[in-house]
Amino acid sequence: MDAVQRIAKNMTVLLLARAVSMLFGFFYVMYTARYLGPASFGILSFALALNGIFGVIINFGLDPLTVREVARDRNLARKYLANGIVLKLIFGALTFLIVALVVDFLDYPEITRKVVYIITLFTIVNGINNLFNDIYQAFERMEFISVGQILQSVLSLVFAIIAIKFGLSVVYFAIIYLVVNLVVLGYHVAVTTWKFLKPNIEVDSSFWKSIVREAWPFALSAVFISIYYWMDSVMLSYMKGDEVVGWYNAAYRIVLLPSFVHIIFLNSIYPIMSRSYNTSVNSVEVAYQKSFKYLTIIAFPIGIGTTLLSKDMILLIYGNDYFPAVSALRILIWAEVLVFLNVVFGTLLNSINMQKVVTKQTAIGAGLNIVLNLLLIPLYSYVGAAIATVATELFAFIFLYENTKRVGYWILKDNRNRAYILKIGMSSLIFGMFMLFLKTLFYKTSLANLVVILLVSLTMYLCLIYISGVLENDDKKIIIALLRGK
C-alpha cells in the first residue's frame, strides 16, 4: 500500500468516525449547555480549561514522540506503551496535586472544586487512552481510533440525557466524563491485546531518561499551547465569573468543530512525513506543500461563513441565554483559520526533528497571550480574550512561516503558489458576498434555512476553486485517488 492509499484509508475512517462523533457531540453540547445554563456550564468549562493547562503534565510530550518513534520502528511499540503507562500515572498524580492546590489557593466554591477534581481524574484516564491511540496512529490503523471516538461520543450523549431526565447537577456531568473514559480505556486494552500486543507495565529507568530527554521539547510545546488555548477561560473565571466563561466557551465549542479536519488530515500525514524524512526529502516537501494548499482551501470559507452566520449558529444551538457569545464567535473563528495554517508548519518541523523551533514559538506565544489577556480582559471581558487569542495565533503564523522558510521549506517560493493563494482568497470573498445575498432571501433564522445557505454557498465556492485552476492535474489525481481509497 503506497502513501496515498494509506492516507486515503486513514482519512476515510477518521472522517466517518468524526462525522458520527460530531453529530452526537453536537447534541451533547447543545443539551448540556441549555440545561445547565451559562453559569453551571461555565463551571464545567472552567474545570476543563484548568485541566487543559495542567493536563499536559500527564502527557509530557510522550504522545507525538511515541507516534514518531514507533512509526519509524514498530518493534518499539511494546516498550513505549509499557513504560508510557507508568510515566503517565506518575505524572497524573503530580497533576492532581497541583490542580487541587490551585483551586484551594484561589478559594473557589465547593461545587467548583468537586467538578475540578473529577475532571482531573478524567484527564488522567484520557492521557492513558491517548497512549493507545498513539500506537494505532503509528501503525496507521486509524479505524481503532475511530471506534473509540464514536463510543465516547455516544456514551456521553446517552449519560447526559439520563442526567437531564433526573435533574442532576453539574457535578454529575463531570462524572460522565470520567465514567465514559474508563469504558473507553477498557475498549483500548481489549483491542490492543487482540490486534497488537498485550499491554503491561514496565519500569525501565534508563529508557525513561532517554524518552524524557527526547520528549521535553514536545512537552514544553504542549504546555505553552495549552496556556494560550485555555488560560483565557481560567482568567475569565477568576476576573469575570462563571456566566462569562459559559458564554465564551459556548463560542469556543463551535470554533473547535472544524478542527477535526486538520487534526485528521495531519494525523494521517505525520507518521508518513516522519518516516519519509530519513528516505525521501522530496516526499516531505510534496506532502508539506499539498497540505498547506488543501487546508487553505478549507480554512478561508470556514472563517468567512462562520463570521456571517454567527448569530444564527448561537441562537439555534444554545438559545437566547447565550446571545453574548455571538461577538466572541465572530472573532475566535479567525484564530481557528490561523490554526489550520499553523499546524502545517508545526507538523513539518516536528517530523524533521526541529521540534525545538515549535517549542520556542509556543513559549513566546504563551507569554504574549497571558500579557494580552491581562490587558484586554479587564477592559473588554470575553471579547478581549477572543482578541488576545487571534493575536497570539497571528504571531504563531508569522514566526513559524519565517522558520520554515529559513530551513528551505518556503511556501511562497514560486509564482504558482502565490497565484493559488490569491485565487483561494478571491474565491472566498465571492463566497462570502454570495452568502450575504442568500441571507437576505432567507431572512428568518431556522435550521433548514441555515443548511440551505451553507450547501448552496459551498457548492458555488467549490465551483470557483475548480474553475480558477487552483487544483492542478496532480491535485485532481490525488483527490480522485483519495476518494476511491487508492
Q: What local confidence, expressed as pLDDT, does residue 340 receive? A: 92
Residue range 447-473, pLDDT digits in tens: 778 888 889 999 999 999 989 888 877
Residue range 158-176, pLDDT digits in tens: 999 999 999 999 999 999 9
pLDDT, averaged across the chain: 84
Q: What local confidence, expressed as pLDDT, does residue 327 receive? A: 95
Residue range 169-211, pLDDT digits in tens: 999 999 999 999 999 999 999 998 888 777 777 777 777 777 7
> Which tops the pLDDT comparison, 2 or 260?
260
Q: How confident is the model at residue 8 (pLDDT cuts 50, 70, 90)?
A: low
For cell 504574549, the residue is 368
Share of the chain above pLDDT 90, in %: 38
Answer whether residue 333 shows pLDDT above 80. yes
Answer whether residue 291 shows pLDDT above 90. no
| CA–CA separation, 431 and 453 (whole Å) | 11
Once rounded to an integer, what is the mean pLDDT over residues 400-419? Answer: 78
| CA–CA separation, 479 and 303 (whole Å) | 23
Answer whether residue 1 shows pLDDT above 70. no
Q: What local confidence, expressed as pLDDT, does residue 9 receive? A: 62
Q: Which of 371-380, 424-433, 470-479 has the lowest mean pLDDT?
A: 470-479
3-state secondary structure of 257: coil
Yes or no: say if 313 and 254 are a contact pair by the CB < 8 Å rule: yes
Q: Which of 5-9, 142-146, 428-432 holds the top average pLDDT?
A: 428-432
Once rounded to an integer, what is the mean pLDDT over residues 81-104? Answer: 89
Question: Which residues touch 459 (CB under 8 Å, ≥6 apart)?
Answer: none
Answer whether residue 276 shows pLDDT above 70. no
Q: What local confidence, expressed as pLDDT, does residue 389 receive? A: 93
Question: Grid coordinates standing for 121?
Answer: 481524574
Once rounded to an integer, what is the mean pLDDT over residues 208-226? Answer: 74
Answer whether residue 2 shows pLDDT above 60. no
Residue range 109-120, pLDDT digits in tens: 999 999 999 999
Q: What local confidence, expressed as pLDDT, does residue 7 receive? A: 61
Yes or no: say if 46 and 242 are a contact pair by the CB < 8 Å rule: yes
Question: Which residues touch 472 (CB under 8 Å, ≥6 apart)?
Answer: none
> Which tops the pLDDT comparison, 282 or 84?
84
Residue range 293-326, pLDDT digits in tens: 888 999 999 999 999 999 999 998 898 999 999 9
Q: What local confidence, expressed as pLDDT, does residue 273 receive? A: 72
Q: How confident is the model at residue 155 (pLDDT cuts 50, 70, 90)?
A: very high
| CA–CA separation, 37 and 45 (whole Å) | 12
3-state secondary structure of 479: helix
The string of DSSP letters for 310-351 reads HHHHHHHHT-GGGTTHHHHHHHHHHHHHHHHHHHHHHHHHHH
Residue range 246-274, pLDDT digits in tens: 999 999 889 988 887 777 777 667 767 76
Answer whether residue 335 shows pLDDT above 90. yes
